[in-house]
Amino acid sequence: MARITLEELNELDDEVPDEEDEPMDGEEQNRLFSHWETVASTHQVSLPQEMAGPIMQMARHNQTREPVPYATLSQHEKCEEIAYEERLYPAGKWACITRGEPKYEQSISMGFMKLIRYICKENSLGRQLGMTVPVINEIHLNKEGTELLQEVITAYYLPEEFQPNPPLPLDPDIQIQERAPLRVIARVFYGTTTEETILREIHLLWELLGSTDNVLRETYLVAAYQNPGVPNRRNEIWFIRRAD
């Protein structure tokens, strides 16, 4: 399945009725599933039929996407535009899954396919949890910094309602993790997220920062805000500050 991210689900919400309205007929369901199959094919993965139910559930929930909370510590400009900013994300609980597919796009797609089923009632509460933004993908580089390692961790922040007591996943591959406060340097970029574009954005941010010893060099985060069908979609690359 393609990376099922937040804005795509918002678009689909506009196309289908709310849960209180009449349910979609067979033609509408087939059209929606075909849409996801097409998006999935761009990531070189297949969308299994068992995802039809979760897709329909997500499309019917026209909820506000809850932002992951953070505080802006500083902003840095270049040519009178914000080049990057430093943020502090508080400790919080995330649902995480690790995949190691041949391509980055496949790993994030397969990982989020499982997470979306957790969000859509495959949890100990048996209810739809709602979405948060952004979805985070943790990547690791080789020592030379020239290529991504295959293992990618995809993480979904639990909505505030569920932070004190997160619903347990029915899928044993998904782990609920309490993550420590995170201080990052974030830079926005637009377009596709592939190994090539991610490495380019990492290089560009290092050029802006210059030499510094208090940033991790082998672990980075890619924040996904919009769906893969948007040609100029918004993403961010996050550098992680070392703990003091």
Q: Contact, 129 vs 61, CB < 8 A?
A: no
Return the percentage of the chain with pLDDT > 70, whole number. Answer: 71
Cα separation, 204 vs 129, whole angstroms:
37
CA-wise closest residue to 150 among 119, 195, 191 = 195
Residue 26 CA, chain-centre distance (Å), reads 30
pLDDT tens digits for range 114-123: 998 899 889 9
Domains of the chain are 6-60 (no CATH), 66-241 (3.20.80.10)
Cα separation, 32 vs 144, whole angstroms:
43
pLDDT tens digits for range 94-109: 999 999 999 998 898 8
Cα end-to-end span (Å), the chain: 40
Q: Which residue(s) pair with 85 in the sheet?
A: 75, 186
* β 66-67/132-133 pair status: parallel
Highest mean pLDDT among 39-43, 96-100, 225-229: 96-100
Examine the pLDDT at 182 and tell me if it is beyond 80: yes
Q: Please tell me whether residue 32 adopts helix, strand or coil conformation.
A: helix
Report pTM.
0.79
Greater confidence (7 vs 72) lies with: 72
